[in-house]
Amino acid sequence: MIVRMWEAKAEPNRLPELLTWVCDTALPEIEHSPLHLASEVFSSTDDRLVVVSKWRGSPLALPDPPLRLVTRPPHSWDFTQVDR
C-alpha cells in the first residue's frame, strides 16, 4: 500500500473555499480509480489542508487547485508502511 500526503496552504480567508474545491472537485477525480482505497481530509488553524489517500499501487495526482485559493503550489509525498 502507498499513502500519499498532499498539502496546500490557503490564501487568507480562503480555507473554506479550498476545502469545498478539494471535496467537490479534486477528490472525485481520483476516487473512481480501482487502485484508490480511501481518502481523509484535515485542516489546520494556520489555513492548511492535508489530504491523506491510500492506494493499492501508484497514486493518481490531485489536480492543481485554482491559483486564487493557494499561497503556493501544493506539495505531496508518498509513503509506505514500515514493518517494526
Find, among 69, 71, 55, the residue nearest to 24 by Cα. Answer: 69
- Mean pLDDT, residues 8-19 taken together: 98
pTM equals 0.92
pLDDT of 52 reads: 98
Q: Which domains does the chain have, with CATH numbers?
A: 2-80 (3.30.70.100)
- How far, rounded to the nearest angstrom, does the alpha carbon of residue 46 sit from its chain's CA centroid? 16
| Overall average pLDDT of the 11-30 stretch | 97
The pLDDT score that the predictor gives to residue 49 is 98
What is the mean predicted confidence (pLDDT) over 22-51?
Answer: 97
pLDDT at position 44? 96
